Amino acid sequence: MNFVKGLLLGSAAALMATTAQAADLPLKAKAVEYVKICSLYGAGFYYVPGTDTCIKLGGYTRAEVAFNASGMTETPAWNGNAGQGNRLSNNTIFRSRQDINIDTRTATEYGVVRTYFDSVFTWTSGGSASTVAGGELGVYFAFVQFAGFTFGKAVSQFSTPWNGTPGNITSNLLGGDDNSTGINQVAYTAEFGNGVSGSVSLEDQSSYRQAQGVSGVFNTTGLGASGTTQNTPVSWLSGAGPGVNYIAGTQVPDIVGKIRVDQAWGLFQVSAAAHQIRASYYNPTLETTGHPDDKWGYAVLAALSLKNLPTGPGDSINLDATYADGAIRYVIGGTSPNNFSMFGNNALGAYQSIAIGSAVDGVFTTGGGIETTKAWGIRGAFNHNWTPQWSTSIFGAYSSVDFGGTGGALYTTGLRNAIGGNFTGTPNFNIAQIGTRTAWTPVKNLTFSGEVIYTRIDQNYEGTTNAVNAGATKPTSAVYQFKDQDTWTGALRVQRTF
């Protein structure tokens, strides 16, 4: 009897358990797909759940302050209100920035498909949206790479890996190319083995290469929109030049080629670019007046980086030299201003002294053709690590702009007609820069930096003018003396990279 009773109780219990399990089945959660580390492309990559695509999130948070700067942090006081040295300039400029980048890689039978996106959120003293809660959004990079091709906004194939920062933190070290925030392009890179690669590309010239806005191609006759000669003072120091900027729309992208060798000892690179120069009409509002014929300019670059130096582990020397004819923005880097106008109090028998320089691809007169400008520059840095936490860089650059005999005469004549005065010389100018940076990294990916840079503008005019319309606060009836100018700029930065 006890055996039968036990059998019945056991059967009932088994039936209840089975019923309960069946009732739970529709409510049971699916197995969790845990995020897996992707070791194919280096540290920081993870598989996107449910796919074979690897993704890496990164970026940095940065806070910095600059002293005696112009418009943006770490930009020397070489134009605008800062160049004038008036009370409208912000002598202390703060900036906060958040950078976010997304890198994805997927292996295919044609090779790796890569996408990369890098965006920044920035607040700067005196910026276009510097309100209590305002700021600015920027897109540095957005490109797709596949089978050796690059489509989208990426660093120019002409540029070196360090762009305009061989050892500095500023983005205004001249003497060479600088488009560290990317340029739209279609490029192809071939890897030949042993660290040797070659690239060709078609690159958008409208943003960095064309010298838009305050410079580009000048009609030194000074025809205004109405077609009348400008023989009265014009705001040439604040952007108009001796005439009007007659830049035309783009027709052919810049054609760029590069050969690079990457080895354990460092890097060697040679780059070249062809750049089309186009002007609008002799009278920019009347197409029947005709226009100059298009011309082609070019730029060439040679770069060298040396590593594993006997001075210490991690030390390096970065050097690059560039020559340009009719493609001046390859020397006066793309993120820097097109024109320079600095005032000083070191004048003799004049209200103040001034130094000017315009980065134009060429000049012409009404009815004539374009005379190209020429420029060359060299820059570099020695980077030394005192300890794993402390490092110092010494950097410098020299840039030279030459308008040539005909172009210089055209420019000077237009300038004299526009502003008047008793002066001689040419529009040629040189800019020398030297500086040092020291960085402290107390913990990994957290760096405190301090930098100071000296800039000198060596201009070619001598004499005085009494009809300057520089805009802002400068009097137009005063006498100004042409003279070289210099300035110091300092910056402090803290950056946390993740």
Mean pLDDT of 384-396: 97
Q: Which of residues 491 and 249 earns the better pLDDT score? A: 491
Coil vs helix vs strand at 498: coil
Instruction: Choose among 383, 495, 497: nearest CA to 437.
Output: 383
Instruction: Choose among 96, 103, 144: nearest CA to 120.
Output: 96
User: What percent of the chain stands above pLDDT 70?
Assistant: 84
Q: Which of residues 236 and 152 earns the better pLDDT score? A: 152
Residue 27 has pLDDT above 70, yes or no: no
Instruction: Choose among 170, 174, 177: nearest CA to 393.
Output: 170
Residue 267 pLDDT: 97
pLDDT band at 233; cut points 50, 70, 90: very low
User: What percent of the chain stands above pLDDT 90?
Assistant: 60
Q: How many domains does the chain have?
A: 1
| 37 belongs to a structural domain | no
| 33 belongs to a structural domain | no
| 14 belongs to a structural domain | no
pLDDT band at 139; cut points 50, 70, 90: very high
Q: Which domain holds residue 492?
A: 52-497
pLDDT band at 286; cut points 50, 70, 90: confident
| 20 belongs to a structural domain | no
| 95 belongs to a structural domain | yes
Do 406 and 443 contact (CB within 8 A), yes or no?
no
Sequence-separated (6 or more) residues with CB below 8 Å from residue 136: 121, 122, 123, 124, 127, 128, 129
Tokens 């969790």, residue located = 32
Do 381 and 167 contact (CB within 8 A), yes or no?
yes
| 21 belongs to a structural domain | no
Q: Which of residues 370 and 211 earns the better pLDDT score? A: 370
| 220 belongs to a structural domain | yes
pLDDT in tens, 405-446: 998 888 888 777 777 778 899 999 999 999 999 999 999 999
| 92 belongs to a structural domain | yes
- 491: domain CATH number is 2.40.160.10
pLDDT in tens, 84-101: 889 988 889 999 999 999
Residue 10 has pLDDT above 60, yes or no: no
Which range among 115-119, 155-159, 466-470 shows the weakest confidence by mean pLDDT?
A: 466-470
